[in-house]
Amino acid sequence: MSVAAPGQGMRNRAGPPIMFSTAAMKIGDLVLYQGRLYYLRGLDPMSVPDRRVILEDPETGEEVAAPADDVSAAEPFPPSAV
């Protein structure tokens, strides 16, 4: 059985390690998706290709699945803004 060298699985075929915008986000953080604020409720592990996240609409409580690449950290807002 072969084991990949450390870091080998984190590289794309053409170059440097891939960095995802969700790396700095934590469960419960406010994030932006399609111009709207959502709570980050879950995300696929870094090793999963085409990572997805689970988001919660703060107004309706509805859960939404989205590609991780389409989600970004939201700017800090005062608590009354949500």
- In this predicted structure, the answer to whether residue 81 has a pLDDT above a threshold of 60 is no
- What is residue 11's three-state secondary structure? strand
pLDDT score at 77: 60
Confidence of residue 78 (pLDDT cuts 50, 70, 90): low
pLDDT score at 46: 87
- DSSP states along 17-82: BP--GGGG--TT-EEEETTEEEEEEEE--TTSTT-EEEEE-TTT--EEEEEGGGEEEPPP--GGG-
Residues 9-59 have pLDDT tens digits of 444 444 444 344 455 788 999 999 999 999 999 999 989 999 999 999 999
pLDDT score at 12: 43
Q: Cβ–Cβ contacts within 10 Å for residue 44, how many? A: 15
